[in-house]
């Protein structure tokens, strides 16, 4: 939708979201406790909702007022793109390429530092570059940069493509995940000994040099399950063996040092 004013943008959004929910104007008007003629006037752009009306619309469609008023939501084709983040629903419109494949947002290294504050900001997400992978099944996907050497063979310059998990209970023991955390921002780790009753995740690095640690559930904002990776480096098996030997050597040196103390 091009050159839309805020008023007409809101009008298009109301009509589009109503149709996605397969509701008539009368049914939605009844749910919002407004006359059908009033709703029709909103959708036609002849009038604008009061603050009470905007609040009711945002609550009904489970989006923020800011999203409803300032974003073009007509590209959204499935309400499954409504994600539960930070205790509230945020809508991330899914876009598709010419072949109908879902576009995947990539979080560049420079943007990853601001992801903790921007992950629930529609403008931040919409500004991310996008790619498409034809073999990706339906779902919400995002690509995250690898920083550091804790998860070989992936290293700096690689991207992990993750599928958004709606609930912590969907985690599979032994699999790897990109996790947005309260204190450390984005981390990519393998989860072992997963048990919902523990109230925390045990995060492990594939590089034995790094020790596993606990991450309480309440410090988790997002979880993305590993689907595939884009690794631009051609790392040789001998390089991996060298990393393992370095890790073992470090552990031996640490043990020797502790024995002397």
Mind listing the pLDDT tens digit for each residue in 207-223? Answer: 888 999 999 998 998 89
Cross-strand partners of 176: 190
Whose structure tokens read 């991310």? 128
| Order of strands, sheet of 130-132, starting from the edge strand that comes earlier in the sequence | 130-132, 103-106, 141-145, 159-164, 220-230, 176-181, 185-191, 200-204, 213-216
β-strands 185-191, 130-132 pairing: unpaired
How many Cβ atoms from other residues are within 10 Å of residue 159's Cβ? 22
Residue 88 pLDDT greater than 50, yes or no? no
Q: Mean pLDDT over residues 114-137, rounded?
A: 79
pLDDT one-digit tens code per residue, 162-192: 998 878 888 999 999 999 998 899 999 999 9
Q: What pTM does this model have? A: 0.60
According to DSSP, residue 102 is labeled B
């Amino acid at each position: 939708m091009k050159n839309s004013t805020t008023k007409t943008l809101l009008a298009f959004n109301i009509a589009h979201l109503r149709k996605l929910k397969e509701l008539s104007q009368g049914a939605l008007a009844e749910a919002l406790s407004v006359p059908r003629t009033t709703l029709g006037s909103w959708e036609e752009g002849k009038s604008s909702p009061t603050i009470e009306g905007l609040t009711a619309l945002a609550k009904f469609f489970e989006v923020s007022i800011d999203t409803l008023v300032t974003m073009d939501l007509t590209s959204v084709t499935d309400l499954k793109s409504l994600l539960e983040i930070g205790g509230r629903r945020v809508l991330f419109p899914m876009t598709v390429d010419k072949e109908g494949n879902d576009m995947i947002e990539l979080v560049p290294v420079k943007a990853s530092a601001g992801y903790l504050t921007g992950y629930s900001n529609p403008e931040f997400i919409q500004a991310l570059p996008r790619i498409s992978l034809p073999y990706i099944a339906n779902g919400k996907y995002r690509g995250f940069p690898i920083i550091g050497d804790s998860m070989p063979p992936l290293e700096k310059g690689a991207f992990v493509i993750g599928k958004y998990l709606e609930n912590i209970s969907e985690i599979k023991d032994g699999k790897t995940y990109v996790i947005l955390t309260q204190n450390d921002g984005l981390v990519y780790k393998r989860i072992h000994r997963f048990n919902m009753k523990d109230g925390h995740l045990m995060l492990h690095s594939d590089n034995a040099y790094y020790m596993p640690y606990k991450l309480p559930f309440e410090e988790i904002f997002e979880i993305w399950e590993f689907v595939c990776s884009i690794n631009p480096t051609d790392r040789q098996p001998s390089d991996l063996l060298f990393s393992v030997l370095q890790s073992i050597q470090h552990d031996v040196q640490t043990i020797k040092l502790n024995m002397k103390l």
